[in-house]
Amino acid sequence: MATITAETNVGTKKSGKGANHGVVSEVSAYFHIKPGHTEALRGAIDRFQAALHQAPTELIQRFGLQDMRHVIFDGGTRLNWATSFETDWEPYIDDSVRMFGIEKWHDWFQHCEECPDNFLQLSGKPLRDFIQSGQVQAAGFFKTISDKTIPELRKAMRVEKALDQVLEQPEASTLLQHPALRPLLEEAAD
Amino acid sequence: MTTTASEIAREQDSTATGTTLELHDLQSGILHPRPSPYVGSYVVYRVDAAHDGRRFIGRLGRWIASAADWSADAKAWLTATLTYQGLRALGVPQTSLDSFPEAFRDGMAARAELLGDTGDSAPANWQPPLGTPEVHVALAAIAPDASRVSVLVGEIEKSRGDLPGVAEIWRQDCYALPTEREAFGFKDGISHPAIEGSGIPGSNPQEQPFKAGEFVLGYLNEMGVLPPMPSPDVLGRNGTYVVFRKLHQDVAAFRQYLRANARDAADEELLAAKFVGRWRSGAPLSLSPDRDDPALGADATRNNDFLYQDDDPRGLKCPIGSHIRRMNPRDAVVTGDVRLHRMIRRGTNYGPQMPIGVMEDDGADRGLCFVFVGASLTRQFEFVQTQWVNDGRAFGAPAEKDPLIGAGGCPFSIPTRPIRRRLQGLPRFVTTRGGEYCFAPSLSALRWLSELDS
């Protein structure tokens, strides 16, 4: 039977907001690994990370995902899930479930004591509640390139590639002498 | 009456699925696009006595057609909604009130900062009594002409004659021009999603119909689950949420900005089109990138038949940050799953139109009465407002906002060959004058509310 779920939350006083630096926000959550489940969790994390590594660029962009790590610590009894997004994470929780599939999330969450038994029958809210139950806002968060989104960084990479192509031209140094092109000329030396 | 995509495609009901919507129980104004042209009145009441309020709700039923009985030939159409405070005033039990979502219980004014309603748009500057706990019942009365609206509103007023515990506290007359244009001069109301089981085809044949639960409570949504529903079932089922916003449009500022940043009159029109994503006629830039095409704009079978990703991923035709592309990114690669944030939007003019060619503000209050309809205030309306209108991160442009309705004070990039155009310091063209989160009950729920004291 379909279950009535609760609402996506775009951000209220009760939301589990992470720390921000520029356009990036972080989520760090800590869970207890079920006794005897550590190796199974490692396998599930491998699968989840492999899915991320193999996901099309387009899908990762739709997640707004900058990075994600799973850290098993405390003698294999605890899990730290840490990730950062180009947006706040909470408004997109349903999106991440629908686009990636709740089964993939459940594959590793199921090895945590805090995971509800009926997780697969529920929608994005339990994922949000689950994360918030283990979430601790970072006391400090630093991102090296904090003011640029992935699309902007990809654009910068395309521009660099285009400049490289220009610089390969024999007449490049002559063409770049025009005053309007001085900023490019200044980047041409290395 | 303008031929709509609904009428043209009615024989090809692309929404037929296993979903059976209880159309007889839905208010007709929820799903059906409005006829064109039309005249309307939004009327707000305060319930001072629960018993009178319930009787008033009960009497409204005679003017509310169901979605099954909707007819384009009707004399007039009425939609009734209630706010959280209104449901309280009617005496809805607290356990039922508590089952409504937090956003609805908060009310729009309490979420102003989240929504970007700050500065001039802050609730402190809203037109009273909008944004106050006194807004209880909100009616939308629509008809093909002013005289029929007047008749309907007059009948409702007469029905309230013996109910001193229900007071009219606000009214806004509005209208849709025969040209279907809003105050900035653009044809509005083109895009409409198809909803499974509704019998109402959408305006984009390339857009798969949406699960009914995205727009009506009690049905599976795009997540494959039932959306949260107020209790008891009779109150929640077949109901939906309605957001109402009175939006002042600074037409003079819009015209002045275009004039100051364009090379000539033709470029003004192009710039305006780049802001919106359509030419003033409604012709989409995606299909007609270089010049307006009024025939295309008027053709409901073609003017919304387009996508973005294959043909225009970089926004060279329709800028990535343009208004319609933010409202509905379609298949473009943006952060978020577009299927979860689709909206039914309706807009109606209020105030006098500014004559063409006038550049100085005349002080008139004019703009748009905006309406959203959907099953989730937060995943649909608030998400789009906060993530896609007043934030550019989802589009890879964190510094930018919606150039037409955003909070302003930011740049707007227009991908252009050979060199992109980037406008700076866009003013705020749209200011919120007030609004509220409302619930549109089913016809059964309206009866239930009217019978609460029994």
Mean local confidence (pLDDT), B345-373:
96
Contact B340 A98 (CB under 8 A): yes
Contact A62 B340 (CB under 8 A): no
B320, closest residue in chain A (CA to CA): A151
Instruction: Answer with the residue of higher pLDDT: B441 or A116.
Output: B441
User: Which among B4, B404, B451, B412 has a CA at the least distance from the CA of B194?
Assistant: B4
Q: How far is A96 from chain B (nearest CA, A)?
A: 8
**CA B396 from centre of chain:** 26
Mean local confidence (pLDDT), B285-307:
97
> In the prediction, which pLDDT does B336 show?
94
Identify any residues that bridge with B440 across adjacent strands, giving them in sequence order: B240
Contact A8 B378 (CB under 8 A): yes
Pick from B228, B339, B397: which is nearest to A4 by CB?
Answer: B228
Tens digits of residue pLDDT in A134-155: 999 999 999 999 999 999 999 9
Pick from A9, A58, A123: which is nearest to B223 by CB?
Answer: A123
Mean local confidence (pLDDT), B30-37:
83
User: Which among B332, B322, B331 has a CA at the least distance from the CA of B416?
Assistant: B322
pLDDT-derived band at B286, boundaries 50, 70, 90 = very high
Q: What percent of chain B has pLDDT over 70?
A: 96
Which residues in chain A land under pLDDT 70? 1-16, 122-127
DSSP A119: G
A160 touches chain B (CB under 8 A): no
Pick the residue of B233, B320, B378, B401 with the most A CBs within 10 A to test the interface with A by mutation. B378
> Which pair of tokens denotes residue A106?
């459940």
User: Which among A111, B438, B424, B166 has a CA at the least distance from the CA of B158?
Assistant: B166
Pick the residue of A8, A102, A122, A155 with the most B CBs within 10 A to test the interface with B by mutation. A8
**What torsion, rounded to 10 degrees, do the Cα atoms B269, B271, B277, B278 define?**
0
Pick from B335, B336, B396: which is nearest to A152 by CB?
Answer: B396
> In the prediction, which pLDDT does B199 show?
87
Beta strands B137-143; B240-249: pairing state: unpaired
Instruction: Answer with the residue of higher pLDDT: A127 or B64.
Output: B64
User: B92 Cβ partners below 8 Å, 6+ apart?
Assistant: B235, B449, B452
Collect all residues of chain A within an 8 Å Cβ-Cβ radius of residue B223: 5, 94, 97-98, 123-124
B376 touches chain A (CB under 8 A): yes
> In the prediction, which pLDDT does B227 show?
87
Q: What are phi and psi of B209, to 5 degrees?
A: -55, 150
Collect all residues of chain B within an 8 Å Cβ-Cβ radius of residue A63: 335
What is the interface size between A and B, counted as CB pairs within 8 Å? 111
Q: What percent of chain B has pLDDT over 90?
A: 89
The mean pLDDT value of chain B amounts to: 93
Tens digits of residue pLDDT in B154-179: 999 999 999 999 999 999 999 999 89
A126 touches chain B (CB under 8 A): no
B222, closest residue in chain A (CA to CA): A98
